[in-house]
């Protein structure tokens, strides 16, 4: 870090101190409009052959458009789980209930699964073994990056196993619950992360949400045989494809959310800031893959209490009000693909050396040409 590159948290806080109050009306309107519209477009997708008179390529084009719209809407609805962790407990209980009812339970991502997100924001935990949302990807083999995205294909099955199989097993064998809570009850990317104890209220919430997720798993298994006499029907196939699309989009987004420069040890505040990325430009596309404020990831790490609807305002104030030498300006990137390309190059260089990295970059450039 050069002498000219500095950051004053006090100066930054003075610019955004009035932006930390969440607006319930915005949360409710956004959640209901997004989720309910997504459910409607999903139904149109399922019944496209009956609703639309088109045939052949035209019908498939309509289905592709409906699939894309549904995926974008469901992606946005799902990402509200991130806001739930940071919202105050008082005043948003009904919102949490509505999100779990409309999205969390049907998508098998109940809100208790995201409680460990707080470890990602603890200064001494970020990037260490206590942070379940961090991998040292800049230092790992490039195949880790490929696998990070490809794993989306099996996550829906893992979710069903967690709630459709492990949940009733915990009821039958209570001693199993401790292992399941630690190893299989968190939305994380580090499979070696061990979930901590979040208190009696969190445990009670987990047990209640588990019941409804189990019941939904039973619906998913039994609805096709009962409704159509088939083991697997169009609903399950489309639901699986949508799930994989959502997880894959989110995993790609996550690859660009950080620079992943950590090596497993504690990082300083400045290092943590520079390890996170903002994408303030081209909102018509960045808002699709980074909805509900997730495209402002560095800003969110800086001020986790700022609600998603104020992050754009906060970024513009900081970009304008902080001096040119502020480290905050170094958190901005224009392109997600560019940031992921940089990650790939760092990973390649870390494993194969400068010459190999140069050859790889040259080959990529030739291919692009």
Mean pLDDT of the chain: 92
pLDDT digits (tens, 9 = 90+) for 175-184: 999 999 999 9
Is residue 90 very low, low, confident or very high in pLDDT (cuts 50, 70, 90)?
A: confident
Is residue 369 very low, low, confident or very high in pLDDT (cuts 50, 70, 90)?
A: very low
Q: What gap in Å lies between CA 261 and CA 125, rounded to an integer?
A: 15
Which pLDDT value is given to residue 260? 97
Residue 357 has pLDDT above 60, yes or no: no
Which pLDDT value is given to residue 185? 96
Mean pLDDT of 290-311: 97
CB atoms within 10 A of CB 303: 19
Return the exposure string of 11-43: e unless at least 16 CB atoms fall within 10 Å of the residue's CB, then b.
ebeebbeebeebeeeebeebbeebbebbbebbe
Of the listed ranges 112-121, 274-283, 357-366, the one predicted with least confidence: 357-366
pLDDT digits (tens, 9 = 90+) for 229-276: 888 888 999 999 999 999 999 999 999 999 999 999 999 999 999 999
Which pLDDT value is given to residue 354? 61
Which pLDDT value is given to residue 325? 87
**Higher pLDDT among residues 32 and 231, named by residue:** 32
Q: Domain segments of the chain: what residues?
A: 1-20+268-333, 24-84, 105-266
Task: Count Cα neighbours of 359 within 13 Å in the Cβ-side half-sphere.
Answer: 5
Q: What gap in Å lies between CA 168 and CA 235, rounded to an integer?
A: 25
Mean pLDDT of 142-165: 97
Which pLDDT value is given to residue 358? 44
Which pLDDT value is given to residue 89? 84
Q: What is the pTM of this model?
A: 0.90
């Amino acid at each position: 870090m050069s002498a000219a590159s500095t950051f004053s948290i006090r100066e930054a806080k003075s610019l955004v101190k009035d932006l930390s109050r969440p607006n319930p009306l915005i949360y409710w309107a956004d959640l209901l409009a997004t989720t309910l519209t997504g459910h409607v477009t999903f139904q149109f997708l399922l019944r496209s052959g009956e609703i639309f008179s088109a045939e052949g390529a035209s019908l498939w084009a309509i289905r592709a458009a409906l699939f894309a719209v549904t995926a974008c809407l469901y992606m946005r609805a799902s990402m509200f789980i991130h806001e739930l962790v940071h919202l105050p407990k008082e005043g948003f209980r009904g919102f949490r209930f509505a999100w779990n009812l409309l999205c969390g339970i049907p998508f098998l991502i109940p809100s208790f699964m995201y409680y460990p997100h707080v470890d990602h924001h603890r200064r001494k935990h970020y990037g260490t073994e206590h942070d379940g949302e961090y991998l040292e990807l800049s230092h790992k083999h490039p195949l880790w990056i490929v696998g990070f995205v490809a794993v989306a294909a099996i996550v829906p099955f893992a979710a069903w196993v967690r709630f459709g199989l492990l949940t009733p097993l915990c009821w039958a064998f209570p001693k199993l619950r401790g292992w399941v809570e630690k190893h299989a009850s968190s939305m994380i990317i580090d499979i070696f992360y061990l979930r901590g104890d979040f208190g009696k209220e969190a445990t009670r919430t987990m047990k209640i949400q588990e019941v409804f997720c189990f019941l939904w798993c039973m619906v998913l298994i039994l609805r096709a045989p009962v409704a159509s006499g088939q083991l697997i029907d169009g609903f399950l196939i489309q639901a699986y494809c949508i799930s994989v699309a959502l997880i894959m989009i989110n995993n790609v987004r996550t690859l660009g959310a950080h620079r992943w420069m950590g090596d497993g040890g504690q990082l300083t505040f400045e290092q943590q800031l520079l390890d996170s990325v903002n994408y303030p430009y081209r909102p018509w596309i960045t808002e699709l893959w980074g909805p509900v404020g997730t495209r402002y990831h560095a800003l969110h790490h800086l001020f986790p209490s700022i609600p998603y609807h104020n992050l754009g305002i906060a970024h513009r104030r900081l970009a304008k009000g902080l001096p040119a030498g502020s480290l905050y300006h170094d958190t901005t990137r224009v392109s997600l693909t560019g940031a992921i390309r940089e990650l790939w190059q760092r990973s390649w260089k870390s494993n194969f050396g400068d010459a190999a990295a140069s050859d790889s970059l040259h080959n990529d450039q030739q291919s692009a040409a």
